[in-house]
Every structure is written in C-alpha cells, then in structure tokens.
Structure 1
Amino acid sequence: MGPAISLQDVRKVYDRVPVVEGLSFAIQPGEMFGLLGPNGAGKSTTIRMLIALTRPSQGLVEVAGFDVTRHPARVKANIGVVLQQTSVDTELTVWENMEFHGRMHHIPNPRRRKAISQWLEYVQLEDRRDSLVKTLSGGMKRRLQIARALLHDPSILFMDEPTVGLDPQTRLRLWEIVRDLNGNGKTILLTTHYMEEAAFLCDRIGIMDAGKFIESGTLAELRQKYGEGLIVKQTADRLTSELFPTLEAASQHLDSLPDRTGVMCRPSNLEDIFVELTGRRLD
C-alpha cells in the first residue's frame, strides 16, 4: 500500500511570487501528522492543494492514490475537511446540515439517515438534531463540522486549527474524538498553533517555514536531533534559550555558571525546537 498523502517537488506561485517551494513529504495510511509553521509559511496553500481547491504550479500531489490535478472528484470523495472557520449553515438545523452534505455526496437513503444518526451520536449531538445551528456553542459547531466531514466515510481527514477559540474542556473533548478517529484507522493531517496539541496528538510532525518543508519526525526524534535539555535565561525583559544534547548536559552547564540569577534548566519541548528552527514562536 502506498502513502495516503504524497507531495513530490511541489511548487505554487501566485503573481510570480512563490509561496510554496520544493515541497516533498509523505503521510502513511493511519498516521496522524501535524503540520506546523509560522503565519505565511505556506500551510494554508499546501492544504488547499491537498484538498483539490488549488492547482499546484509544479510537482505531483497525490491523495488516497489519486492525482489532485487529474482526479479532483475522486480525491474529494476520499477526504473529509474540518476548517478553522465555521463552515456549517447557521440558518439550518443540525440534521438539515448533515442531510444537505449527504445529498451532495450522493449517499442514498436509508444509508444516509443511518449515517447521520450514527455520526451525530458519535459527536454527542443526537439530542440537538432539530436545533438551529446558530443556537449551538462554538464547541458544538466544531463537533458538527467533524460529524459532517465524516458522513461519507472518508479515509483521510484534514483538520485546520480544529480547536482554535475553544475553552480547555471543549478542546480536550475534541482531542478525545480526534484520537479515537485515528485509532479507528483514519489518516489525519492536523494544522495547529497549539504546540501541546501537536505533541499530544501527532505520530509525526512536519515544520514549514517561508514556503519550504524544513524538518519532520516524531517528537522523540526531533528532541534527540536538536536537544533534550534547555537552559533559559531571563535578562531584564529579554528571554534567551539554548538547547543541549541531554538534560544532564544542560544541568551541568547550569552548575558551572558563576551567576545563576534568572537562569533555569528544563527538558526541551516541541515549541523550543520550533523556535530553534524558525526563529519564531507561534502566535
């Protein structure tokens, strides 16, 4: 079996300005992959190419084994998309939103009605089936987006900032849903600005910057490569940090300092590595 998602030397140019350059990576079936990058890194353009909304200027993009340029309809039949922006119709009921999506995908009855009930129950919205979407909370709307994206049983799910703007309790509930979907075999590509979310959910993490794919690996692999220990120093209003191969090496460095005022040692995390690679924190 080939990769669920594959990009080979992909380039995208708008008005002679390259926004994605030489992009190559693959995501395996059943993998949860986190795509990170500062604003303007090219993540959104990459996602648009993967879901067959934007044609690449160069290179090959394949999703579920289909070329997104040659077979966009087949790609869309195999993917579900959960956007950051609320994309459900707020003037329709929960059920009507699901019914409309099911008809768009030509799911026949009675299979359509059974699938709608199944997925509304899965995201705990069965009791709100007759409610207008505009009466739902932000977390409920996001859960409805997930149910709608799953209605036609896609093998691949794209989730763009799925928990942005949600309270911590609702975010944790969505984490449970995402992990369960992945555990049941769904391939998921996740973009997020929450580092702890990527670290907790994703099997592998890819980092983009300035339109290029600059690094990928598991969190353990990235920490081993860039440093498992960190020294942080506060001077006035400026915070500086330095990665060390191990936490022990960082601790030894701290012990050797004549003045340890405003200095601390701790294990490195994904955000530390991200800043090391891009020079910026995610806002």
Structure 2
Amino acid sequence: MAWTETNFSPRHAQQIDQMVIAMARLIQDGDFLAEGIGTFLPTAAYMLAKHTHAPQCTSLCPNGNTLMPGTRTLTLGHDEFATIPNASVWLDYVQINLMLMPTIFLGGSPRWTEFMRPAQIDPMGASNNVCIGDYARPVVRLPGAAGIPDASTAAKRFYYYTPRHTKQVFVEKLDFCSGAGHPGDKAGRPEHVVVLSNLCIMASGPSGRLQVTHMHPDVTREEIESNTGFALDWAASLQTNPPPSKDELALLNELVDPDGLRYLEALNSGARRDRLRQLLRHKAGDTP
C-alpha cells in the first residue's frame, strides 16, 4: 500500500525495519513475550522471531489478556479475533500483575522479554513516561508509567526502544523519574538496560552508564552524538548491525505486517492520524 506521508523518508522506514530485525534477533526460543497496547513495532519483532528462530515463544496479548502460542498478522483493532480463540490461557489483571509477572521476573524462567517505550531516558537508563515539565504544572501529560516502575526494579534484563532518536528523548536529567535505571554497581537491579533506537543500540556499560554497542547500517557516530542530549560512552568492541535479509523482509511484509503498522510509531501525531485514516479507507475499499 502506497504512502502519502512525505515527512516519513525511505531511510527512516529502513531504520524501523532494522529496529524490528534487531529486536527479533535478541529474542531467544522459549521467551515469554509481553506485548503493549498499540506497540506494533515490537509486536512485529515478536512475530518475526516466532516465524524464524524462536517458534516456542508465548505471547502475552493485552487484547483479551491471553497467552498465545503461534503467530498472527498485525491488524488495526481486530487482534481479538486472532488471539482469544487461539489462546492457551485467559487471564485477568490480578493474575498477570500479582502472580505471573513476579514469578517470571524474580524466578527468571521463562525469560520475560518486553520492549517498553518511554518519553525520556537518562545516561543511566532511568526513564520518564509521566510528564514533560514540572509535575505540578506539566507542559505535556504522558500516558503514565504502567508496569515500568515494577519491572525496572526487578528485572535483570530490561529493554527500552524509541523509533525517534532525539535530544528530547535522550536527556541528561529526567523531568520525572518513573522507571529505575542502572544504579551503578553490579549488585543493583536491573543489572542490564538495553535501549534500541532507529540509529543504534545502547546497553549498560561497566559503570552502569549507557554506552553505544551497535550502530545501524549507514549511521555515523556524529549523527548519533548530535541527536543525543548527553555525552555518550562507546563500547570498545563497537559493531555494526547486519541489515535485514531478504527472507526477513519478506516475512515482515507478507505475513507479519503487510499493512506497515510498525511504521506508525515513528510518525508524529498528525501524520499518524492521517495514516490511520488512509489505512481505514483502504480497508473499506475506497482507495487502491
């Protein structure tokens, strides 16, 4: 389906695909994959991993609170028709938050894998998803921290992602701290924070401070530094992520996400609204 949004460049689309591939490659077979509401980008990575090297993973789907094996195609508002009839278990929020999550977070088996998207991230991997500006008189009220405060203080391995690597996201000081970062010593929790952006991958270094470990193809150190609001550390063994293979892209475009819903997260609010309307018209048969 053709794009009409001119501000979303082919390069940015390639970077989003690179993010999906990088996420999928971090998943191990048998992982417990937690989906967010409307987080199409990581959900595409989960489905891709299941199609390739990790078929035994189980998804926790927010639509219906279901545990679902197998794969599905990403849709706008129709996930329940794929998840609920094919679920192995139906859960309520008490079971998820008081039984399932603590058992897996603290026990470590199976591995809980979830990619969360905060609005701000500081050099130690702490995050903010509550407000921009002073808490009493915020400039922007954000969606809220949800499970990040609980997960970030207990998980040994914690993933964040952002499809727009900017100085507004990577800040020296948070406006509000709603997610714990690395405390600066190996005994702390979480022990390892990993952040994936459209430019690179960062991870907790020896001091706990985030350092760039992988750059995406066609991205320079200067580009990453100029879009980050704090001085960066760089891993001694800095690597370049391999690009998506033809088979991975074919799975994404034909089986996992033929409507390109993963790209919605990279658009600003106006462009996202326009794209959603275009998708709905297409589904209704009004556009080619």
Q: Which has the higher contact order (CA 8 A, sep 6+)?
A: 1
User: What's the TM-score, normalizing by structure 2?
Assistant: 0.30
| Greater share of residues in helix | 1
User: What's the TM-score, normalizing by structure 1?
Assistant: 0.31
